[in-house]
Structure 1
Amino acid sequence: MAHIGDRYRRRAQAFEEKVARVGAGDWGNQSPCVKWTARDVVDHVIAMHGYMLGPVGRSFGNDDDPLTTFRAARKAVEEVLDNPELAAQEVDTPAGRMTAEAQIDQVVSDDLVLHGWDLARATGQDETIDPADVERLWRSTTAIPAEMMTLYRTPGAFGPDVEVFGPEIPVPADAPLQDRLLGFIGRDPSVRR
């Protein structure tokens, strides 16, 4: 569906701009993800693009430069979304079978938003998430059934060293929705680097 591709492109552009603005000395900065630096955040997003592409027989080249590699990953995902046959191909996921485009939308596209915040926080960039993305992610994450959320919060449930969400961080009920979303997925929006 065109809106999935449009949403991915908008989010990928915003993430790419953040990657492009990372200063040479900032790649080692600690991110809100306890085990990851700014570089690790970008490497994770790139790796997730690879996971989305594998089931549909696509891949991309890897370069030492994170911006170059992200651009290659982005281009490969956009080619899948632009190809109706590939986009509609059914793939197996931890959440069950779905189309490749649905998995891209629910996993890597959402990762671009959430990890875009992580990267911005780690490197001193603007941390504002598009309000439409905040509302959409709030609705989708708070709708996850409790038993599935327990799995998402269990380190290693989806593979070694894989953590989908951290433990919920309490934030005031009247906090901005972006802060409540971040707290819900295990980020502390009050902690600055």
Structure 2
Amino acid sequence: MTNDETNDKPVAELLQAAARHAVPVVRGTRDEQLGDRTPCAEYDVRALLNHLFQVVINFQALAARRDTDFSAVPDVVGEDGDWRERFEKETAALAEAWAAPGATEGAAGSMGFPALTLARMALGDLTVHAWDLARATGQRFTPDPAAVADVLACFEELAPTARAWGVFADPFELPDPASASDFERLLAVTGRDPRWR
């Protein structure tokens, strides 16, 4: 399946758009909020930020067909330096990596997923976890509509496997699915309550 079959924009452009929406949320996260809970039960704000770094760094490597280690979560927030500034740089590098010639072709990673599917997984993490972070820190977040549409199609297809692996929780039952937005449906597919506070 080519990117054009699901969306008019290349996935690298969608990653750029998702980053534009995610970066302000990361920049708006205050140090005193790092211990607060998030919609991801296993993560507080600090752990969620570190997971986001893990995602954007490892998926750069996957685009370039380099080895990755998803078992190691870097404590970027605990390191010296400006992690907010670094997040903006790493997300820019993520989009650049997937824009490279051939990055979305063939398979990648130790499990041999289609490379384009992996790029969409990164896009989904960046979009959904930005919402998680915004909700946890009391910020507004409006995702990129094209990114949401692209990820929703991918995640609906991947959901059974993701649940079997424990990556997604059971789907959240929306009270009125017919009137739900694409983003609410995406959150529900991943097991999130769109009204979480």
**TM-score under structure 2 normalisation?**
0.74
Query: Aligned to 2:119, what secondary structure does the other structure show?
Result: helix
Shift of 1:44: 0.9
**Distance (Å, rounded) in 1 between the aligned partners of 2:60 and 2:26:** 21
1:152 equivalenced with 2:162 (yes/no) = yes
Unaligned runs of 5+ in 1: 158-162
The one of 179, 182, 194 equivalent to 1:189 is 194
The residue that corresponds to 1:176 in the other structure is 180
- Does 2:109 match 1:92? yes
- Alignment partner for residue 59 of structure 2, among 52, 58, 61? 52
RMSD of the alignment, in Å?
Answer: 2.7
Q: Which residue in 1 is equivalent to 2:168?
A: 165
1:69 counterpart residue number: 86
Tell me, yes or no, if structure 1 residue 131 matches structure 2 residue 141.
no
- CA distance in 2 between counterparts of 1:97 and 1:151 reads 12
Structure 2 unmatched ranges of 5 or more: 4-8, 69-75
* Per-residue deviation, residues 87-136 of structure 1 (Å, max 9, x unmatched): 55742354x3433xx25521211211111110111011113333333333
Q: How many matched pairs?
A: 176
2:132 to 118, 135, 150: 118
Alignment partners' CA distance in 1, 2:128 and 2:30: 20
Deviations 1:25-65 (A, max 9, x none): 22222110001112222211110123223343499xx5544
Higher relative contact order (CA 8 A, sep 6+): 2
CA 1:183–1:78: 2 relative to 1, 3 Å: closer
Among 21, 24, 35, which residue is 2:42 paired with?
A: 35
- The residue aligned with 2:71 is none
Distance 1:6 1:150 in 2: 27
Alignment CA distance shift 1:139-1:104 (3 Å): closer
Percent identity, aligned pairs only, is: 24
